[in-house]
Amino acid sequence: MLSYIIPFIFLILVVVFIHEYGHYYFAKKYGVGVTDFSIGFGQELIGWNDKSGTRWKICWIPLGGYVKFFGDRNVFSQSDQEKIIQKYNEEDRKKLFVLKPLYQRVLIVFGGPLANFLLALVIFFSIYTFVGKDFTPAVINEVQKDSPAMAGGLKDNDIILEIDGNQVKSIMDVSKYIMMSTDDFINFKVKRSYDDLVFKIKPNVVEGEDNLGNKINKRMVGIKLGAYNNEINHVKLGPAQAIYHAAHEVYYVSISSLKYIGAMIFGKADTSQLGGPIRIAKISGQVAEFGLLAFISMMAYISISLGLINLFPIPMLDGGHLMFYAFEKVLGRPLSQKTQEGFFRIGLFLLLSLMIFTTFNDLKDIGLLG
């Protein structure tokens, strides 16, 4: 159990700290007072005050964090501005978040998700620069008999060029693109002799295991891959190439995740793969056993997920506040307190529903539910 908990806590501490520091950085940049910088919720375990009066603390429930601004009841509370103005003197008003110009409030709120994307970018850049990236072309060594691949027209020795419009730059891309596909058919572009051909393959969905031994529903097309000319092409990239491929990976993961979530909403993707803290803890421990490289790679993917989720237009998330600011820009004034409270109730219901659903999946995953 400790082998799961310790890597999970470390991963969450790093990813959440980076997220909250994004808010903190822009808040300090624009002169907003920060009273608390908390990693975790509940009772404080350790903490200290810096010279500006911010209380930095780690609390005993490590499932999130928050930055509390001067004069606010919580991170981005939307209080009545007239009451705030009457409550504070002119000097203190300069430190109030809600009295800052709209563009500054937008940047402060967006700073959290932005920091998560930048963390992933730095991790991928570092891996590609110091460890390298695989560029081994993917060749089909065998098309299994009576498989979707055989029915769709794929043949031995085909070189896979693209899957669903995504360029296949290495063998490892193939399973990733197949797994992330959500349509009934997967488009394969292959090179056969001197011709580029496109085939539509309808995958089978079967119960299987991932590389960590966890049960998942896998999309299978029935091909076995090998390296082109049996040569592995793994190279360390220069700074320009590394930043390009790192940015592309962040972009691909973000877009694919949004497409997958959209497919789940419309019933086209497997919702049983959606997990919460328990599943993340389990996978964190399993990945940690594969070494530091696998673990920090997972940290990058979790960081992207946290950044994306927080941009959803749901009140209580960063995206919900950005939605309010969009209304403010269009209307020329903030939404009324009553309207915002109505949105917050809806947001709370949606988040609680998501928590219950992911917890149910987690308990099924570890065998506590049938």
Confidence at residue 76, expressed as pLDDT on a 0 to 100 scale: 41
The residue ranges of DSSP E strands in 179-306, in sequence order, are 186-192, 195-201, 204-209, 215-220, 223-227, 234-235
- Say what the pLDDT of residue 1 is: 55
Largest Cα–Cα separation, the chain: 79
**Rounded Cα–Cα distance for residues 41 and 66 (Å):** 8
* Interatomic CA distance for residues 347 and 353, integer angstroms: 10
Which CATH number fits the domain 133-235, given the four candidates 3.40.50.2020, 3.40.640.10, 3.40.50.150, 2.30.42.10? 2.30.42.10
The total number of residues shown for the chain amounts to 370
Angle at the Cα of 133 from the Cα atoms of 140 and 217, rounded to 5 degrees: 55
Going residue by residue through the chain (370 aa), what tens digit of pLDDT does each one get? 556 678 888 888 899 999 999 999 999 999 999 999 999 888 999 999 999 989 999 998 877 889 999 876 543 444 456 666 677 777 888 888 888 899 999 999 999 999 999 999 999 999 999 999 988 889 999 999 999 999 999 999 999 999 999 999 888 889 889 888 888 899 999 999 889 999 999 999 887 666 555 667 778 899 999 887 777 888 899 999 999 999 999 998 899 888 888 777 776 666 655 655 555 666 666 666 777 888 898 899 999 988 998 999 888 889 998 998 998 889 888 777 778 778 878 877 777 776 676 666 555 554 544 4
Residue 36: the pLDDT is 94
Q: What is the pLDDT of residue 291?
A: 78
Nearest to 188 by CA among 179, 198, 196, 178: 198
Residue 70: per-residue pLDDT:
85
Active-site annotation holds for 20: yes
- For the stretch 94-121, pLDDT in tens is 888 888 899 999 999 999 999 999 999 9
Quick one: how far is CA 194 from the chain centroid?
40
pLDDT at 122: 97
End-to-end CA distance of the chain: 22
Q: Which of 20, 142, 231, 341 is catalytic?
A: 20
Q: What is the pLDDT of residue 260?
A: 80
What residue ranges do the domains of the chain occupy?
2-130+303-365, 133-235
Judging by beta carbons within 10 Å of its beta carbon (0-12, 13-18, 19+), is residue 210 exposed, middle or buried?
A: middle
Distance, C-alpha 35 to centroid of its chain? 28
Phi, psi of 232 (to 5 degrees): -85, 125
Residue type, 95: K
SS3 call for 56? strand
